[in-house]
Structure 1
Amino acid sequence: MSDVTPFVPIVLDLPVHNFYHWRHLCLVHLGRCSLRHHVEGDDAPALADFLWVKNDYAILQWIYRGISTELFHLVVRDGVTARDVWTALRDLFQDNRDARISQLHTELRTLAQGDNSASAYCQRVKAIGDELQELDSRVDDRGLVHALLNGLNERYAQVATLIPLLRLFPTFAEARSMLQLEDLNLARKARNPQAFHTNYGPSCAPGGGSSSGYGSANQQPRSSTASSSTRPPGVSPNYKGKNPIPGYQPQRTRSLTLRAPTPQAAPPRASCTNSSTSSASDAI
């Protein structure tokens, strides 16, 4: 018979109050090996049967390996069978039943998530419900969901408000799935925070100026000379400070010089006296 540790990975302990889950795993493994009758039922021990005694000792080893040292000292005795130890463990966890039920109900009403993840918080709520069921004080799914929503922290406020408004009230498993999905979304947002960009105008730039924005008395007009002086060389005149066109060469403009026309000399004009004298001499 193989070791039971891989099949029952839970260590039974009084402070943890995990008897329900530990017992469930043990019964599953014993049923697989057809040995549940060693811990259940009213059959008398078959001490004369060599195979029965061998199997009973093996089950005793499984139980001792799966409980804490404190519990081992409480239940160990000579000449006991596996059923005797099993019954002693059950009585330890179900002793003072009414007081334990009251304590569990109080814990369920006041349980808070705190810094725990959604999965760990749901697991604790489910464990309390399972133990109450083991003590014959079962809490239905609706009660577990209300207890779950009551202790959520502020990060899950949106989901806690949405779940009670659903047309069909969810089961505990459905509410747990919704919280786990919200937990994944919050973790994703924490890994990839959104970037916010702010453009400061001339009147609300950091370090001075008016925060009102437009029409500020302290606002000074921008000078085209100042903006052109900050433009990198060889960049388009339309450069606005973003994405300059590499290798841009400004076009050379031809300078047109307007010259005044050169005044021309007037033709010589004939004298009236000389012309009349020559005419008279010709007539003579």
Structure 2
Amino acid sequence: MLHAAEAKSLCQVAEHACQEEEVSRTYVVAQAQAMTAGIHTQAIGVLNIKVLVTIILDLVSLNYSKWRNLFLNTLGRYDLSDHVLTDVEVDADDVHWHRIDYTVRSWLYDTISTELLKVVMTPVSTACTIWIGLEDQLIGNKETRALHLDTQFHTFVQGDLSISYYCHKLKGMADALGDLDELVQDRTLVLSVLRGLNDKFANMVALLKCRKPFPSFINVCSDLLLEKLTMASKLGPSSTVLIATVPSLSAVAAPVRASALSTMVQHLLLATAPRVLQHQ
């Protein structure tokens, strides 16, 4: 009898512990849901998504990778990544989910070009189907796109482009190749930058390619921009002298205006003098 009583007592203790654990788990879930609901309310209140996603996605700018990272970062901030990364069947009566999905859809529409909007927007679109449609447009048919872009990347030269735009353009091509599963190593990117520089930077090419350890893309861009500023500063004094020796338009025009005004006054006096004499 004693053993039976002890066993019953132990069962009651275990049952009570399970009930407490279940209550605790329910409380944690409720807290998480309340927190998520609060975050979603903040997302609905975002009036201008372009403040958070500062890039407009289009077909020609090679900016898909940057746009995608910014957009996913914003979705993660509001716990909404599943709306574009997970295609699930949702109950039509789930008002909250649909309201949030409308919000994500509006963010997508506001951060893509008109051309892309016409392609991916349909009456039955969800945020996920729009996301997949954008992927198909920007990185679909990867092999063909990679072939053309790789050729462009390895033949691109600076020419008359500014050094900042030249580096930006090559980096965009490298990122776009990465989106097509053709990852461009940082060393390869640097070599492409050095290969395409114009003759003004010939000395920098000689210095940078021999540097140990081999510089990163960020370091090369910094060095090239600094060299550009150095070139500009060397041209500064001659430009200042030229500006100082060329008279301004206002300085030339002032005597002309004064002379013209004097002539006009003289003509006016001669024209009115006879009338004054007649009255006298």
- Normalised by the size of structure 1, how large is the TM-score? 0.66
| AA of the residue aligned to 1:8 | V
Q: Please say if 1:53 is aligned against 2:98.
A: yes
Structure number with higher helix proportion: 2
Distance 2:201 2:53 in 1: 34
Deviation at 1:194, TM superposition (A): 9.3
The residue that corresponds to 1:119 in the other structure is 164
Q: 1:10, 1:22 within 8 Å by CA — same for their partners in 2?
A: yes
| AA of the residue aligned to 2:81 | R
Q: Please say if 1:128 is aligned against 2:180.
A: no
The residue that corresponds to 1:80 in the other structure is 125
Distance 1:167 1:17 in 2: 32
**Structure with more relative contact order (C-alpha pairs < 8 Å, separation 6 or more):** 2
Cα distance per residue 1:48-73 (max 9 Å; x no partner): 32221111101111111111111111
**Residue correspondence of structure 1 range 87-98 to structure 2 within 5 A:** 87-98=132-143
Which has the greater radius of gyration? Answer: 1
Deviation at 1:163, TM superposition (A): 0.5
Instruction: State the SS of the aligned residue for 2:79.
Output: coil
Choose which of 103, 117, 120 in structure 1 pairs with 2:148.
103
The residue that corresponds to 1:173 in the other structure is 218
| AA of the residue aligned to 2:124 | G
| AA of the residue aligned to 1:127 | G
The residue that corresponds to 2:64 in the other structure is 19
**Residue correspondence of structure 1 range 8-47 to structure 2 within 5 A:** 8-47=53-92
Distance 2:126 2:153 in 1: 37
Deviation at 1:165, TM superposition (A): 0.9
Structure 2 residues without counterparts, runs of 5 or longer: 1-44, 241-280
Taking a change above 3 Å as real, the CA distance of residues 45 and 18 of structure 1, as seen in their structure-2 partners, is farther
Distance 2:116 2:67 in 1: 13
Percentage of identical aligned residues: 37
The residue that corresponds to 2:206 in the other structure is 161
Structure 1 residues without counterparts, runs of 5 or longer: 196-284
Instruction: State the SS of the aligned residue for 2:200.
Output: helix
Choose which of 212, 221, 233 in structure 2 pairs with 1:188.
233
Deviation at 1:46, TM superposition (A): 4.8
Taking a change above 3 Å as real, the CA distance of residues 38 and 156 of structure 1, as seen in their structure-2 partners, is same
Deviation at 1:190, TM superposition (A): 2.2
Instruction: State the SS of the aligned residue for 1:181.
Output: helix
Deviation at 1:5, TM superposition (A): 0.9
Instruction: State the SS of the aligned residue for 1:165.
Output: coil
Instruction: State the SS of the aligned residue for 2:221.
Output: helix
Instruction: State the SS of the aligned residue for 1:5.
Output: helix
Taking a change above 3 Å as real, the CA distance of residues 117 and 79 of structure 1, as seen in their structure-2 partners, is same
Taking a change above 3 Å as real, the CA distance of residues 121 and 173 of structure 1, as seen in their structure-2 partners, is same
Distance 2:94 2:104 in 1: 16
Q: 2:62, 2:173 within 8 Å by CA — same for their partners in 1?
A: no
The residue that corresponds to 2:189 in the other structure is 144
CA RMSD of aligned residues (A): 1.8
| AA of the residue aligned to 2:143 | D
- Normalised by the size of structure 2, how large is the TM-score? 0.66
